[in-house]
């Protein structure tokens, strides 16, 4: 297999630029990064066909040995159309979140600090509730254990028992 | 058996419905099923005893050798009789235990019946994986039944403990079973026992399987879940946690003992833990005030006893073990049911508050005393017969010089002493009148409630005398183990050592009872040492905390934080691997053709610029540069289909982006960037480098020739010349079917996000706009003012209030589009209108052309659909949302649905002709202009793809285009007249028109709340 260094470098640049934008907080930027990464990945898949040849269309007098590998092309074609769908979906998300956020002034930003606090509280709640359930059943079991200082009444009644029972 | 199991499942499903109708009487109805199975099993008994097990096999997953195989031999029959017999009685008992208004009674009844069925399946299953499935099903049902009182904390805690512990053991067991099945070469349990797996694999496998068994049967150190499970309603305790489910572990031990009892791991686990459990359980039972907990710890003790005896590995011990198993099922279920009655009548099961119960409920007390006596091993009850057999078996083994026999004998002896003591404690606590306790108030239950425990207690008594008739069933299993067949079960063996041991046991038990106070002090001093429940709580709380800490640390910084961590892991992991890598490509070219580096340079610069500019629109345009660059790259290196598709998609993406971005602020807001700018750059750069290296490595690592060499032949076979298209619609059509399903989901998602409710339908139509009723008018481009649609005017000249001369000119201009007059005159462009009018129909024709030639030339369903979509985009851009509705007067959802149906129908159609999914068929024909084309099922499939893509674009346009327009117009109208240059009268008329149109468009659908309104 041979590779075109140009395409590898291009793919790396698109990928790197895409990733660095995706790390921003604005959803629009994330989407822009997603598009770049999508293009980069398409190039990567396409790279796997090796050296380019003729279009993979078996016309008159086309030698099947001279055509490009059609397999990555089929993958990429699918990926391109899926990219369109995901982009539209993310845009709808962005629009919706903007619409909701318009009530405040946050635009399409996602607020992390509130999330963090909420997450931490949620986790603490979960731990508390599961620990409370466990503790409840444990208390119930412990409550049934006989404690020796209550043994006095037993002593008295134990004798009666032996009398009445008459069993071994 | 399989039929019975299916009946259990079916009846359990309809039980909730029956309960609505019958109330608690439903239990009497559903009890008939286990009772019927019990009778059926009895009719099979002669055959089974004659040595021919009932076997039923239905193949299920032949590739994994898994079959629904069931095998009823003597052991399975014994267990199945217990499961169905006790099950029927417990269900009957439930009828009196619960009131009609018990919450979730239907669910409870269904679960309990389902449990009976599952347990029946467990003991009869022969395939180890089917056995495992039933095993885990009992865990789940037990979880649901323990947690019956969903509102109580202790119920939830207990249910989760039981599930966690038994599932943990179950998973270990699964690993063990897999090892056994793989090593033994069969999934049949009976085969695996007949031809045991030996060596290290066998040892490990059996250790793991036993781990499952001891967790299920609540042996130390997993015993704590069973007392906790007493939070369940009493019938559940009686059935699951005394008679049936906890016996699953004992059953497995008994089942495996004939094949595996001589492994090294066997005796330490089975006898060591069994003996320890017997003592620990008995010790703790002796301390309980709560009668149910007393029985629970007693059960723990007895389970240890049972595992120890059945797993001992000699014929006599096995015989004693299964006798004890039967005896325990009979007396322990009885005792639980009795406690349930006492609890019901007195309102407590704490014996410090109970007094005089026995005097006033003599029948119940008699039943309880008989059962407790059987537990203590008092003659002439079945418990005595079993215990005699146990002592005899161990004595014989001790005489034979077996070291483990000493352990067993001593544990059985000491455990039996404890059993006697806690049996007495139970009877005394539950029934006797205590001097210093006032007689508790009793509300007497229906006498019928005593039927189930009465029958069980009577069975304990009758079985002891009828033991010669029962023995064949028990011995049929025990004879599989080594040892002489001399010993027989009997009530009276004469004066022999075992009887002496029993006598000593009773004496010491009485001593324990007499020295009650000293024992209690001792217990309070040493008890905590043996408490593994605290260990469990500690482990769980540590795991909880660690999980919460890890989660909140890793996932605390929102989306950017997540992504940064994911990418960092990617860089760290794959980066390290690529540094260590040795397979580099043999040859590296700088470029494929001279234009490539130039194109790549432009694209790379655009990408980096897109990462740095602050304006959304600029960034989007720069990304488009990379997209269109791809078009050229693909086009110049033998991928015309990709170039075509990429070009169309890129254009649509650009337009859709603009449609949304026009509503968002121009500048991208920057506030407290969560990942620092420099850090972002570094992460991005590293990720890019790793990705580049990976690309090179992937190319270098490839050693096999590409499968592409076979594809041309396949394409010809599929009547196509364009290999890429043939792959999409034929060779890899499954992929494509999956993809268009994703597209349908995406289109639905987009519409759902934008239309808050009522997302179905197409783009709005002109018909809904008042003033344009005559169909002919719509088709004739006539000079008419645009406003007339929105606000009918008396005459052409009536332009009162209109001040904008250009607007007036545009308004009266002839339109080239059907809905051209619905958009504001100032936004109309004659040039665009003319172009769109001229290009739309040719574009649709070309798209259909692309669709049909796709099999042989660049094109296909995707490209065709995208081109048609692009034509719709043009119509929308030129004429607005009504124009879109006129251009594509269909419901987008119908397009998507039809497309998906067509594609899936083509896939499934071949099944009707006996072929595999997606088998293709063709006929060739000569079509003018198109030449020779083969119309085949793959063409139909491609038409489906075409429709889905058109539907997707239409849905995007009507959502992100039309609906966003409508929302914007509405908002603008609500904001007041400031944005209009027209006079007040016109503005009001315009608003009215808009609102009118809105009402007609989406009747009944709620709209996004207007932010302006919300702010007020």
- A 10 A CB-CB count for B416 gives 26
Q: Which residue is closest to B668 within chain A, CA to CA?
A: A26
Cβ atoms B510, B420 nearer than 8 A: yes
B51: left (phi over 0), alpha (psi -120 to 50) or beta: left
The CA-atom distances, in angstroms, between B234 and each of A142, B288, B344, B570 are 19, 17, 10, 54
Residue B310 clears pLDDT 90, i.e. is over it? yes
Of A92, A136, A160, the CB nearest to B749: A92
Average pLDDT over residues B866-891: 88
Is A96 within a domain? yes
Phi/psi for B553 (5° steps) reads -75, -45
SS3 sequence of B381-446: CHHHHHHHHHHHHHHHHHHCCCHHHHHHHHHHHHHHHHHHHHHHHHHHHHHCCCCCCCCCCCCCCC
Q: What is the mean pLDDT of chain B?
A: 84
Average pLDDT over residues B890-916: 85
Residue B999 clears pLDDT 50, i.e. is over it? no
| Closest alpha carbon to B781 in B809, B807, B810, B820 | B820
pLDDT at A139: 85
ipTM of the complex: 0.77
Is A82 within a domain? yes
| Closest alpha carbon to B76 in B375, B383, B468, B480 | B480
∠ CA B328-B334-B338, rounded to 5°: 145
Is A115 within a domain? no
Phi/psi for B765 (5° steps) reads -110, 160
Contact B290 A30 (CB under 8 A): no
Total domain count for chain A?
2
Same structural domain, A53 and A16: yes
- Gap between the Cα atoms of B656 and B650, Å rounded: 10
- Assessment of whether the complete model's pTM goes beyond 0.90: no
The CA-atom distances, in angstroms, between B573 and each of B567, B579, B687 are 10, 10, 11
Contacts of A37 in chain B (CB under 8 A): none
Range with top average pLDDT, A73-77, B439-443, B708-712, B881-885: A73-77
Residue B852 clears pLDDT 50, i.e. is over it? yes
Average pLDDT over residues B883-898: 87
Residue A28 clears pLDDT 60, i.e. is over it? yes
Residue B557 clears pLDDT 90, i.e. is over it? no
Same structural domain, A80 and A148: no
> Coil, strand, or helix at residue B277?
helix
Residue B779 clears pLDDT 90, i.e. is over it? no
Instruction: Provide DSSP, A19-77.
Output: HHHHTSSBHHHHHHHHHHHHHHHHHHHHHTT-S--B-SB--TT--GGGBPPHHHHHHHH
Number of A/B CB contacts below 8 angstroms equals: 470
- Gap between the Cα atoms of B665 and B389, Å rounded: 88
Same structural domain, A78 and A141: no
Average pLDDT over residues B672-689: 81
| Closest alpha carbon to B277 in B257, B250, B252 | B250
Give, as one character, the DSSP assignment of residue B933. E
Which structural domain range is residue A132 located in? 123-165
Average pLDDT over residues B726-746: 90
pLDDT at B584: 80
Mutate to test the interface with B, among A3, A9, A126, A137 (most CBs of B within 10 A): A137
pLDDT at B427: 93
Please indicate if any CB of chain A lies within 8 Å of the CB of B231.
Answer: yes
Same structural domain, A86 and A40: yes
Cβ atoms A69, A48 nearer than 8 A: yes
Instruction: Provide DSSP, B289-320.
Output: SBHHHHHHHHHHHHHHHHHHHHTS-SHHHHHH
Q: Judged by CB atoms within 8 Å, which residues 393-432 of B form the interface with A? A: 420, 424, 427-428, 432
Contact B1015 A103 (CB under 8 A): yes
How do residues B908-956 score in pLDDT, each as one tens digit?
A: 887 777 777 777 777 766 766 666 666 778 888 999 999 999 999 999 9
Same structural domain, A146 and A77: no
For B497-517, give one letter per residue: b (16+ CB within 10 A) or e.
ebbebbeebbebbbebbeebb
pLDDT at B812: 54
Average pLDDT over residues B237-256: 92
pLDDT at B585: 79
Residue A49 clears pLDDT 70, i.e. is over it? yes
Contact B558 A110 (CB under 8 A): yes
- Gap between the Cα atoms of B722 and B724, Å rounded: 6
Average pLDDT over residues B171-178: 95
pLDDT at B857: 86
Cβ atoms B320, B389 nearer than 8 A: yes
Same structural domain, A51 and A14: yes
Residue B1009 clears pLDDT 90, i.e. is over it? no
Is A79 within a domain? yes
Mutate to test the interface with B, among A56, A117, A159 (most CBs of B within 10 A): A56
E strands, B595-637, are: none
Interstrand relation of B66-72 and B54-61 (parallel, antiparallel or unpaired): antiparallel
pLDDT at B239: 93
Average pLDDT over residues A26-42: 91
Same structural domain, A30 and A104: yes
- A 10 A CB-CB count for B710 gives 11
Residue B198 clears pLDDT 80, i.e. is over it? yes
Is A90 within a domain? yes
Name residue B587's beta-bridge partners: A2
- Gap between the Cα atoms of A13 and A37, Å rounded: 10
Q: Which residue is closest to B349 within chain A, CA to CA?
A: A144
Instruction: Provide DSSP, B172-206.
Output: HHHHHHHHHHHHHT--BHHHHHHS---HHHHHHHH
Cβ atoms B347, B341 nearer than 8 A: no
- Lowest mean pLDDT across B176-185, B745-754, B788-797, B964-973: B788-797
How do residues A91-103 score in pLDDT, each as one tens digit?
A: 998 888 887 776 5
Range with top average pLDDT, B54-58, B803-807, B876-880: B54-58
Range with top average pLDDT, B434-448, B663-677, B703-717, B848-862: B848-862
Q: Which domains does chain B have, with CATH numbers?
A: 275-514 (no CATH), 555-702 (1.20.120), 740-1004 (no CATH)
pLDDT at B814: 58
Contact A99 B1008 (CB under 8 A): yes
Average pLDDT over residues A34-40: 94
Cβ atoms B508, A102 nearer than 8 A: no
Average pLDDT over residues B599-626: 91
Residue B204 clears pLDDT 60, i.e. is over it? yes
- Tell how far CA B806 is from the center of its chain: 65
pLDDT at B843: 94
pLDDT at B934: 66
Contact B436 A161 (CB under 8 A): no
What's the sign of the alpha-carbon dihedral B213, B218, B224, B225?
positive
pLDDT at B252: 95
| Closest alpha carbon to B56 in B114, B115, B6, B12 | B6
Same structural domain, A130 and A105: no
Same structural domain, A74 and A29: yes
- CATH assignment at residue A74: 1.10.287
> Coil, strand, or helix at residue B702?
coil
Model confidence at B777, pLDDT cuts 50, 70, 90, reads very low
Contact A11 B506 (CB under 8 A): no
pLDDT cut 90: percent of chain B above it: 49
Cβ atoms B483, B315 nearer than 8 A: yes
Same structural domain, A106 and A127: no
- Gap between the Cα atoms of A163 and B331, Å rounded: 25
Contact A44 B724 (CB under 8 A): no
A61: left (phi over 0), alpha (psi -120 to 50) or beta: left
Same structural domain, A31 and A95: yes
Please indicate if any CB of chain B lies within 8 Å of the CB of A7.
Answer: yes
Residue B978 clears pLDDT 80, i.e. is over it? no
pLDDT at B863: 93
Residue B433 clears pLDDT 70, i.e. is over it? yes
Range with top average pLDDT, B99-113, B576-590, B999-1013: B99-113
What's the sign of the alpha-carbon dihedral B598, B604, B607, B612?
negative
Q: Exposed/middle/buried for B946, CB within 10 Å: 0-12, 13-18, 19+?
A: buried
Model confidence at A148, pLDDT cuts 50, 70, 90, reads low
Is A86 within a domain? yes
Same structural domain, A86 and A32: yes
Of A6, A13, A136, the CB nearest to B607: A13
Is A130 within a domain? yes
Residue B212 CB partners (closer than 8 Å, separation 6+): B135, B169, B170, B171, B172, B173, B174, B176, B249, B252
- Gap between the Cα atoms of B597 and B618, Å rounded: 24
Is A148 within a domain? yes
Residue B653 clears pLDDT 80, i.e. is over it? yes
SS3 sequence of B8-52: HHHHHHHHHHHHHHHHHHHHHHHHHHHHHHHHHHHHHHHHHHCCC
Phi/psi for B916 (5° steps) reads -75, 165
Give, as one character, the DSSP assignment of residue B1008. P
Of A1, A25, A32, the CB nearest to B674: A25
Cα torsion for B650, B654, B660, B664, to the nearest 10°?
A: 130
- Gap between the Cα atoms of A93 and A81, Å rounded: 19
- Gap between the Cα atoms of B371 and B83, Å rounded: 18
- Lowest mean pLDDT across B161-170, B421-430, B804-813: B804-813
Interstrand relation of A2-4 and B587-589 (parallel, antiparallel or unpaired): parallel
| More confidently predicted of B563 and B302 | B302
């Amino acid at each position: 297999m041979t590779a075109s260094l140009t395409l590898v470098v291009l793919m790396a640049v698109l990928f790197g630029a895409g990733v660095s934008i995706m790390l921003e907080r604005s959803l629009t930027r994330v989407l822009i990064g997603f598009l770049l990464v999508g293009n980069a990945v398409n190039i990567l898949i396409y790279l796997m066909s090796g050296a380019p040849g003729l279009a993979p269309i078996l016309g008159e007098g086309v030698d099947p040995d001279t055509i490009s590998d059609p397999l990555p092309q089929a993958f990429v074609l699918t990926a391109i159309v899926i990219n369109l769908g995901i982009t539209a979906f993310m845009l709808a998300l962005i629009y919706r979140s903007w619409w909701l956020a318009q009530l405040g002034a946050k635009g399409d930003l996602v607020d992390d600090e509130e999330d963090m606090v909420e997450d931490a509280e949620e986790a603490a709640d979960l731990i508390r509730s599961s620990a409370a359930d466990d503790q409840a059943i444990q208390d119930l079991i412990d409550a049934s254990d006989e404690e020796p200082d209550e043994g006095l009444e037993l002593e008295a009644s134990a004798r009666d028992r032996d009398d009445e029972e008459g069993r071994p | 058996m399989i039929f019975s199991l299916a009946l259990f499942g079916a009846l359990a499903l309809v039980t909730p419905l029956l309960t609505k109708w019958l109330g608690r009487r439903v239990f009497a109805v559903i009890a008939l099923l286990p009772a019927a199975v019990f009778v059926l099993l009895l009719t099979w008994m002669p055959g089974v005893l004659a040595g021919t097990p009932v076997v039923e096999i239905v193949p299920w997953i032949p590739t994994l050798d898994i079959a629904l195989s069931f095998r009823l031999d003597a052991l399975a029959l014994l267990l199945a009789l217990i499961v169905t017999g006790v099950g029927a009685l417990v269900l009957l008992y439930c009828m009196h235990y619960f009131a009609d208004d018990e919450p979730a009674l239907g669910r409870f009844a269904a679960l309990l019946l389902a449990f009976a069925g599952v347990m029946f399946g467990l003991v009869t299953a022969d395939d180890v994986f089917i056995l495992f499935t039933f095993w885990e099903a009992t865990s789940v049902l037990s979880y649901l039944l323990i947690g019956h009182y969903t509102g109580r904390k202790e119920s939830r805690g207990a249910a989760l403990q039981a599930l966690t512990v038994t599932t943990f053991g179950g998973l270990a067991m699964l690993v063990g079973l897999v090892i056994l099945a793989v090593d033994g070469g069969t999934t049949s349990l009976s085969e695996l026992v007949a031809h045991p797996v030996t060596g290290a694999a066998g040892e490990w496998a059996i250790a793991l399987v036993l781990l499952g068994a001891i967790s299920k049967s609540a042996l130390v150190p997993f015993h704590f879940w069973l007392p906790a499970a007493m939070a369940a309603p009493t019938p559940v305790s009686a059935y699951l946690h005394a008679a049936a489910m906890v016996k699953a572990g004992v059953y497995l031990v008994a089942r495996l003992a004939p094949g595996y009892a001589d492994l090294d791991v066997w005796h330490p686990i089975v006898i060591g833990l069994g003996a320890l459990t017997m003592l620990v359980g008995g010790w703790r039972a002796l301390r309980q005030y709560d009668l149910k907990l007393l029985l629970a710890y007693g059960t723990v003790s007895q389970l240890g006893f049972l595992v120890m005896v059945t797993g001992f590995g000699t014929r006599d011990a096995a015989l004693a073990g299964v006798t004890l198993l039967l005896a325990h099922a009979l007396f322990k279920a009885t005792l639980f049911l009795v406690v349930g009655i006492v609890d019901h009548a007195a309102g407590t099961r704490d014996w410090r508050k109970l007094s005089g119960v026995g005097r006033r409920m003599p029948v119940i007390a008699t039943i309880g005393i008989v059962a407790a006596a059987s537990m203590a091993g008092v003659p002439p009850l079945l418990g005595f017969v079993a215990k005699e057999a146990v002592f005899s078996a161990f004595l014989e083994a001790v005489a034979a010089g077996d070291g483990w026999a000493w352990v067993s004998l001593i544990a059985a002896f000491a455990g039996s002493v404890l059993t006697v003591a806690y049996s007495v404690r139970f009877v005394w606590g539950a029934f006797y009148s205590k001097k210093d306790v006032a007689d508790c108030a009793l509300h007497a239950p229906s006498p019928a409630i005593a039927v189930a425990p009465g029958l069980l207690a009577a069975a304990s008594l009758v079985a002891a005398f009828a033991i010669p008739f029962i023995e064949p069933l028990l011995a049929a299993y025990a004879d599989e183990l080594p040892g002489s067949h001399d010993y027989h079960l009997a009530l009276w063996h004469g004066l022999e050592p075992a009887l002496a041991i029993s006598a000593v046991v009773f004496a010491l038990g009485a001593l324990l009872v007499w020295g009650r106070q000293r024992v209690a002090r001792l217990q309070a001093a040493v008890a905590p040492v043996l408490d593994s429940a605290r260990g469990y709580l500690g482990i769980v709380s540590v795991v909880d905390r660690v999980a919460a800490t890890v989660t909140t640390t890793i996932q605390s910084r929102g989306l950017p934080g997540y992504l940064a961590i994911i990418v960092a892991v990617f860089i760290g992991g794959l980066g390290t691997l690529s540094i260590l890598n040795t397979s580099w490509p043999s040859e590296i070219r700088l470029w494929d053709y001279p234009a490539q580096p130039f194109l790549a340079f432009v694209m790379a610069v655009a990408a980096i610029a897109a990462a740095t500019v602050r304006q959304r629109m600029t960034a989007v345009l720069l990304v488009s540069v990379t997209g269109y660059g791809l078009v050229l790259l693909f086009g110049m290196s033998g991928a015309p289909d990709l170039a075509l598709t990429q070009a169309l998609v890129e254009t649509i993406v650009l337009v859709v982006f603009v449609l949304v971005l026009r509503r968002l602020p121009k500048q991208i807001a920057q506030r407290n960037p969560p990942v620092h700018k420099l850090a972002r750059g570094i992460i991005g750069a590293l990720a890019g480098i790793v990705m580049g290296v990976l690309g090179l490595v992937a190319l270098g690592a490839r050693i096999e020739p590409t499968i592409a060499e076979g594809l041309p032949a396949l394409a010809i076979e599929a009547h196509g010349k364009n290999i890429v298209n043939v792959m999409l619609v034929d060779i890899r059509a499954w992929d494509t079917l999956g993809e268009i399903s994703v597209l349908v989901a995406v289109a639905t998602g987009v519409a759902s996000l934008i239309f808050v409710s009522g997302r179905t339908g197409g783009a709005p139509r002109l018909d809904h706009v008042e003033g344009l009723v005559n169909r002919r008018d719509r088709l004739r481009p006539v000079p008419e003012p645009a406003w007339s649609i929105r606000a009918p005017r008396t005459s052409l000249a009536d332009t009162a209030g209109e001040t904008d001369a250009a607007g007036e000119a545009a308004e009266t201009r002839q339109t080239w589009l059907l809905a051209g007059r619905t958009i504001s005159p100032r936004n109309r462009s004659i040039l665009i209108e003319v172009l769109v009018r001229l290009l739309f129909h040719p574009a649709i024709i070309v798209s259909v052309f692309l669709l049909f030639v796709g099999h042989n030339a660049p094109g296909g369903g995707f490209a065709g659909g995208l081109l048609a979509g692009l034509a719709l985009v043009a119509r929308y851009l030129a004429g607005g949302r009504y124009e879109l509705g006129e251009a594509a007067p269909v419901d987008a959802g119908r397009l998507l649905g039809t497309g998906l149906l067509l594609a899936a129908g083509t896939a499934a159609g071949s099944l009707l002709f006996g072929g595999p999914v997606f088998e293709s068929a063709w006929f060739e024909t000569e079509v003018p202009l198109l030449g020779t084309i083969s119309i085949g099922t793959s063409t139909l499939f491609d038409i489906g793809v075409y429709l889905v893509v058109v539907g997707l674009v239409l849905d995007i346009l009507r959502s992100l285009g039309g609906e966003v327009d409508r929302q914007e117009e509405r908002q603008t109208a609500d904001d007041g007249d400031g944005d209009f240059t027209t006079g007040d009268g016109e503005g009001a008329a315009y608003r009215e028109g808009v609102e009118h149109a809105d009402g007609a468009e989406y009747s009944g659908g709620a709209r996004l709340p207007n932010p302006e309104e919300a702010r007020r």
